[in-house]
Every structure is written in structure tokens, then in C-alpha cells.
Amino acid sequence: MARVALTDLKRAATSGENVFAVLMDAARVCSLQQITEAFFEVGGAYRRNV
């Protein structure tokens, strides 16, 4: 279940669609760490310029 949700989340993030609904579905079955790692895999680390 979590694997499917994470796959859907990565697909949504890379296709440019709104990830909110997919993220909420993933949050029901995945840990915050799993979701963070999925976003990191497809988008890299966010670093603010200070």
C-alpha cells in the first residue's frame, strides 16, 4: 500500500500536477520520512539562499 502511494506521489511531482491530493493519500499510509525521501528522490534537496 505504501509503495503504491509513494509511486503515485513521485509521478505527480515529476509530471507537474498538483500533489496535494496525492500527498494526503500518501500521508494515510506512509511515514513523514518515507514521503520526504520520495520528494528528495525526484526533486533533490531544497536549499534556501541566505
- Classify residue 49: in a domain, yes or no: no
DSSP reduced 3-state for 27:
helix
DSSP string computed for 4-39? HHHHHHHHHHHHT---HHHHHHHHHHS-HHHHHHHH
pLDDT at 25: 96
What is d(CA 32, CA 23) in angstroms, rounded to the nearest whole number?
11
Could you report the per-residue pLDDT of 17-34, keeping only the tens digit for each?
A: 899 999 999 999 999 999
- Classify residue 11: in a domain, yes or no: yes
Residue 6: pLDDT above 80?
yes
- Classify residue 15: in a domain, yes or no: yes
- Classify residue 48: in a domain, yes or no: no
Tell me how many domains the chain contains: 1
pLDDT at 48: 62
Domain, as residue range, for 29: 2-43
- Classify residue 36: in a domain, yes or no: yes
pLDDT at 49: 64
